[in-house]
Amino acid sequence: MSQATASAQVLVVDDEPDLRTLYELTLLREGYSVDSAATLAEACAQLAAKKFDAVITDMRLPDGQGTELLRRMAAEQRSERCIVMTAYGSAENAVEALKAGAFDYLTKPVDLKQFRAVVASAIQEAVPAVPRARAARAAVQNERAAAAQSALQRLVGESATMKLVKERIAKVARSMAPVLVRGESGTGKELVARAVHSCSHRAEGPFVAVNCSAIPETLLEAEFFGAKKGSYTGANADREGYFQAARGGTLFLDEIGDLPLPMQSKLLRAIQERHVRALGSTQEDNVDVRIVSATHRDLGSDVLAGRFRQDLYYRLNVIEIMVPPLRERREDLPALCDALLARIAQESGMPTPQLSESVMQQLMAHPFTGNVRELENLLHRAVALSDGEELHIDFQAAQPAPAAAAGPAPAAPPVVPQDLQSWLDQQERDILVKALQETNFNRTAAAQRLGLSLRQIRYRIARLAITIPGGGDDPHDET
């Protein structure tokens, strides 16, 4: 620990004396100078009298909210990094805190190892560099700003929806909060994830992209967490996993909804505890990564259907970025075509071709079910088949080939429920009843099958008024 960091000043704000003392002792052992406050008013008085390097505050205080303290600090343009502590699973509180300017957030009960790591990271950013290093730090910041601007420029488009996406990226990049990028296939979710990384203070660290749907289930644990030599057939040497490779940077989990349930629980543990254990190892590796995930699926529906863990969903979906489909931002088509054609021409070593007005009109009318990926495919084909003159788009050739034999008649479109909540409750009830019937009403076994805890399935049984044969406690339940 550097001398500057060791002498850092930290303010702890919590109305629970035992917890406040625990945090103070933990920070004192790390070499920090610590002051404390039990209320919002006391915290404001401390800040008025003294400058700190970091502030750690509970979300709920006797005389106000932790976010109110954040807003006051922002209004006064204070430089302290602020860490907010909030109740476990309160995603809305975490999002509110990050929007108000929090550096990071911790969920209660706080893991002290994670607590120390987050505080150290906050102080490292807050403590000023020595005078000789200030110029170098300014140069690095300028380079980072240029890289961030370049990453945002790769998200081509100035439509209202794309401007919202870029604004969202710029805001969320400042924090360590997990981000869930949602959108149809081909919309550019990985570009958004890379932009979040490039705009963050982790831009100098690695960006590791993982396609969760492309990894065989038997290799998932080794790929994510690493493996020791001899830990499984074919493991001829030690290898690091994605978490170790992304240390100090960003781990992008694409198609996160395709992860099987057993792996979801292991991923949740790694994200919560910030350490992993390689296959065949007895030691745990501390990993400092920021998680950005993406999916084209409706994870909320998958949670209700038992296909995705609810606790992992809330852990990943602290901040959501929705990438619009191309059909909802057609005004971006000319700029997208220009950018794609310039790149295709550069790769092919040829002059950049131009699209005629009639071809552009055809593109504007095309449905683009495959989004930007489909547009790129169309332009690649047009350039490859071009005779050097005007480009022509063959829309027919780009369509999927029809099946050789006629299949069953297409299913009727789903009926849109008028009372959505009642419909969702019924779907959840049907899934729970089916799981209970298949396990002879063993709630423990049914919970495991659905990826729920015993407490969660009991809560749902009571809320949905599901009758258990015989009533009372289930003799099969584990305690």
CATH code (residue 214): 3.40.50.300
190 and 118 within one domain: no
Report the C-alpha gap between 117 and 437 in whole angstroms. 46
CB 90 within 8 A of CB 69: no
Domain region containing 106: 3-126
Q: Which long-range contacts (CB under 8 A, 24 or more apart) does 381-390 make?
A: 382/353, 383/341, 383/344, 383/345, 383/348, 383/350, 383/353, 386/353, 390/354, 390/356, 390/359
Report residue 179 as tokens: 């981000």
Q: Domain containing 425 — which CATH number?
A: 1.10.10
Residue bearing tokens 């602020």:
82
Task: Give the pLDDT confidence of 410-440 residue by residue, as tens digits.
Answer: 554 455 555 566 677 778 888 888 888 888 8
Cβ contacts of 101 within 8 Å, gap of 6 or more: 70, 71, 73, 74, 82
CB 50 within 8 A of CB 24: no
CA-based nearest residue to 393, from 413, 371, 376, 369: 376
Q: What are phi and psi of 196, to 5 degrees?
A: -60, -45
Question: 346 lies in a domain?
Answer: yes
- Count Cβ atoms below 10 Å from residue 8 Cβ, excluding itself: 24
Tell me the CA distances in angstroms from 263 to 222, 223, 435, 447, one per residue in order.
Answer: 11, 11, 20, 16
Answer yes or no: do 122 and 153 share one domain: no
Task: Using DSSP, state whether 332 is helix, strand or coil.
Answer: helix
Radius of gyration of the chain (CA): 26
Q: Please, how many CA atoms are within 13 Å of residue 230, restricted to the half-sphere of its CB?
A: 1
- The SS3 of residue 296 is coil
Do the Cβ atoms of 345 and 351 come closer than 8 Å?
Answer: yes
In this structure, the answer to whether residues 334 and 378 fall within a common structural domain is yes
Which residues make beta-bridge pairs with 255? none
pLDDT digits over 347-375, tens only? 877 888 888 888 899 899 999 999 999 99
- Cα-flanking dihedrals φ and ψ of residue 252, to 5°? -100, 115
What pLDDT, on a 0 to 100 scale, did the predictor assign at position 420?
63
Three-class HEC string of 444-476: HHHHHHHCCCHHHHHHHHHHCCCCCCCCCCCCC
Is residue 414, in this structure, part of any structural domain at all? no
Query: Which of the residues in the chain have pLDDT under 70?
Result: 1-6, 88-92, 126-149, 388-389, 396-422, 470-479
Whether residue 177 is contained in a domain is answered as yes
DSSP letter string, 38-95: SSHHHHHHHHHH---SEEEEESEETTEEHHHHHHHHHHTT---EEEEEEETT-HHHHH
Residues 279 and 425 in one domain: no
Same domain membership, residue 160 and residue 76 = no
What pLDDT is attached to residue 77? 84
d(CA 288, CA 464): 40
Beta-bridge mates of residue 291: 251
CATH code at position 368 = 1.10.8.60
Does residue 108 fall inside a structural domain? yes
Same domain, 180 and 277: yes
One-letter amino acid at 371 equals N
287 φ, ψ (degrees, to nearest 5): -130, 125
250 and 314 share one domain: yes
- How far from chain centre, in Å, is Cα 349? 38
Contact call for residues 35 and 52 (beta carbons, < 8 A): yes
- 79, 199: one domain: no
Four-residue CA torsion sign, 155, 159, 165, 167 = positive
Residue 428's CB is within 10 A of a number of other CB atoms, namely 18
Token code pair at residue 476: 């099969």
Number of domains composing the chain? 4
Strands 33-37 and 64-65 turn out to be unpaired
Show the beta-strand stretches assigned E in 273-394.
275-276, 285-286, 290-295, 319-322
Lookup result for tokens 């420029």: 153
DSSP classification of residue 275: E
Under DSSP, is residue 401 helix (H, G, I), strand (E, B) or coil? coil
The reply to whether 389 falls in a domain is: no
**Do 116 and 204 lie in a common domain?**
no
